[in-house]
Amino acid sequence: MNHSFAILAISFVLSVISIAIVIFVTRKFNIYDQFDERKIHTEATPRLGGIGIFTGFVLGLLIYYFSGVAPHSLPLRMWLLIAGCALIFFMGVWDDLKPWRARYKFLTQCLAAILVLAGGFTFRKITFGPLNFAFSMGWFSVPLTFCWIIGVTNAVNLIDGLDGLAGSIATLVAVTYAFFFLRYGNEPAMMVCLILAVSVSGFLVFNLPFPRAKIFMGDGGSQFLGFVLSVLPLISAKNGMATIALPYAAAVLIIPVFDTIAAIWRRVREKRGILDPDRFHLHHKLLMLGFSKRQTLVVVACFQFVLSLFISVSGWTGGLMATVLLFAVYLLGLLFFTVIHVRKEGLLKEEEIAD
């Protein structure tokens, strides 16, 4: 156990050191985030913080498996996960430096998804233990998992629009997944989740708005985070130990998932392209309602914490209590987004009348 804590500390330190170096280099060569109509910040800020997250995670993972702390050597499926992460990460960094067309980014995401699917990372069943429900998906598991990976990758990318927001959500999600794997007795999978959590925490040292963010994660970080968070629930042990069931995996990521669904519906309703940018994501709406940037971060992070707590308790209990708690999570998510949407629409109508 002491060795595991040491590896987590190393991953955190590697992330912090890497980001400190990135900040120095990007400032020296004037590599800053570009301003556009979607951006909230007004100061010139580096946007390659994903390098630190990626470095802490991948090196921490390799140290864990090659130091003898892990119960077995690094399996092929984990090499494929690292390869997929690298592909997404380098595409994102390249996009940060010289923007890619959406079709090329989507193709890269597809290739990365195929790599992890080849490693056996799939939802094989739709299960819900408290009700003893299990449905084997057969061949449909591959296209479903493929859509899950692409969807979550982009959902986390879209939620990254405010200092500390995506990083805080990702950290809480990774820790929640770790609790599930602890319950399953799957220590390697739990360590993978915790290594990601501490690597993101190293980034948050520089990204939280206290007083303001010194660096952004950029697409290299947000796309990488979304990809890893989509794959973490799919990790299983050599003995076929269960992955995290789809209803739970989706519930943990309910904030970025619901925000993305709302964005797609909004753009379809307005007869715009689903990739068209706008300023009506969750954090934009909270800012419109009068919350400051810090207050918005605190509100969303606290809501994610409450959801993660409910989901963790549901995962550790059984029977009716687990069912009620999981249902409550989806209901809370729906109410949260609905109330904010209604308040935003009312504010816009008031502004129209005033004009």
The alpha carbon of 193 is separated from its chain's Cα centroid by a whole number of angstroms, namely 12
Residue 42's SS3 state is: coil
User: How many CB atoms are closer than 10 A to CB 140?
Assistant: 12
Higher pLDDT, 40 or 14: 14
For residues 274 and 156, the answer to whether their CB atoms sit within 8 Å is: no
Q: Is the peptide bond before 256 cis (omega within 30 degrees of 0)?
A: no
What is the token pair recorded at 237?
């042990």
Q: With cut-offs at 50, 70 and 90, classify the pLDDT of residue 35.
A: low
Read off the pTM: 0.93
45 backbone φψ class: left, alpha, beta (φ>0; ψ -120 to 50): beta
Q: For residue 151, give Cα distances in angstroms to 155, 192, 258.
A: 6, 21, 11
For residues 110 and 150, the answer to whether their CB atoms sit within 8 Å is: yes
Judged against a pLDDT cut of 80, whether residue 142 lies above it is answered with: yes
For residue 136, list its beta bridge partners. Answer: 125
Give the per-residue pLDDT at 307.
97
Q: With cut-offs at 50, 70 and 90, classify the pLDDT of residue 222.
A: very high
Average of pLDDT values for 143-153?
A: 96
Give the per-residue pLDDT at 112.
98
The C-alpha atoms of residue 185 and residue 94 are separated, in whole angstroms, by: 39
Judged against a pLDDT cut of 70, whether residue 284 lies above it is answered with: yes
Average of pLDDT values for 83-93?
A: 96
Higher pLDDT, 44 or 49: 49
pLDDT tens profile 225-253: 999 999 999 998 665 556 888 889 999 99
User: How many CB atoms are closer than 10 A to CB 270?
Assistant: 9
Average of pLDDT values for 160-187?
A: 95
For residues 283 and 161, the answer to whether their CB atoms sit within 8 Å is: yes
Helices 218-231, 50-66: crossing angle, 10 deg rounding = 40
For residues 258 and 337, the answer to whether their CB atoms sit within 8 Å is: yes
Q: With cut-offs at 50, 70 and 90, classify the pLDDT of residue 140.
A: confident
For residues 323 and 310, the answer to whether their CB atoms sit within 8 Å is: no
Number of H helices and E strands in the chain, helices first, is 13, 2
Where are any strands of DSSP class E within 36-147? 125-128, 133-136
Where are any strands of DSSP class E within 102-184? 125-128, 133-136
Give the per-residue pLDDT at 129.
62
Average of pLDDT values for 326-332?
A: 95
Q: List all residues 6 or more positions away from 198 whose beta carbon is below 8 Å from its beta carbon.
A: 8, 9, 11, 12, 15, 56, 60
For residue 125, list its beta bridge partners. Answer: 136
The C-alpha atoms of residue 221 and residue 48 are separated, in whole angstroms, by: 7
Judged against a pLDDT cut of 80, whether residue 130 lies above it is answered with: no
pLDDT tens profile 295-305: 999 999 999 99
Domain ranges in the chain are: 2-354
For residues 253 and 155, the answer to whether their CB atoms sit within 8 Å is: yes
Judged against a pLDDT cut of 80, whether residue 136 lies above it is answered with: no
Task: Give me the chain's average pLDDT, please.
Answer: 89
